[in-house]
């Protein structure tokens, strides 16, 4: 009886290890349409929302665990639900366009994919209102009136 139990246990163990080995071969793969978005030259206060579109090109559900920006001026938003193989979704990035100057920011995407860390970048330049020439009449102060 012990020999039969030992053989059943051994067979069950081999079967379990085999199933476990096959299940680990499936991986999610995150593939972005673009990893760099160029805002170009935009006006101060313009819409700073852009989307990084991606597809799960793997054969297991993709779970994005974290999306982090290098700066508080860039707010990324990740999908909350798993992305099934073959499905697409987006990571939305909102840049604060009230800050005049060059845009050079990075967003790190962390997931369960075969490529677990992906760096996304945004570039461009925010300019002040280019319709003003600087020659407009300014309001006089109370001191100048006297």
Domains of the chain and any CATH numbers: 30-127 (2.60.40.10)
- Integer Cα distance of 120 and 142 in angstroms: 51
Strand partners, 117: 110
- Residue 19 pLDDT: 52
Predicted confidence pLDDT, tens digits, the chain (146 residues): 667 766 676 656 465 555 545 555 889 999 999 999 999 999 999 999 999 999 999 999 999 999 999 888 999 999 999 999 999 999 999 999 998 999 999 999 999 999 999 999 999 999 986 555 444 555 555 665 55
| Contact by Cβ (8 Å): 54, 89 | yes
- Integer Cα distance of 118 and 112 in angstroms: 11
Q: Is 85 helix (H, G, I), strand (E, B) or coil?
A: coil
Question: By C-alpha distance, which of 115, 108, 55 is closest to 84?
Answer: 55
DSSP code at position 48? -
Neighbours of 133 (CB within 10 A): 6
Question: In this structure, what token pair is assigned to residue 136?
Answer: 């407009």
Type and span of the H or E element at 125: strand 117-127
- Residue 29 pLDDT: 96
């Amino acid at each position: 009886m012990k020999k039969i139990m030992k053989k059943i246990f051994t067979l069950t163990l081999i079967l379990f290890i085999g199933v476990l080995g096959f299940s680990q071969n499936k991986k999610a793969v995150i593939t972005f349409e673009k990893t760099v978005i160029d805002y170009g030259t935009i006006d101060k206060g313009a819409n700073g929302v852009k989307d990084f579109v991606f597809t799960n090109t793997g054969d297991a559900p993709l779970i994005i665990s974290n999306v982090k920006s290098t700066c508080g001026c860039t707010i990324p938003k990740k999908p909350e639900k798993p992305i099934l193989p073959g499905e697409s979704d987006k990571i939305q990035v909102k840049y604060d366009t009230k800050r005049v100057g060059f845009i050079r920011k990075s967003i790190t995407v962390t997931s369960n994919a075969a490529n677990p860390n992906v760096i996304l970048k945004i570039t461009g330049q925010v300019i002040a209102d280019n319709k003003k020439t600087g020659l407009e009449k300014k309001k006089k102060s109370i001191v100048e009136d006297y």
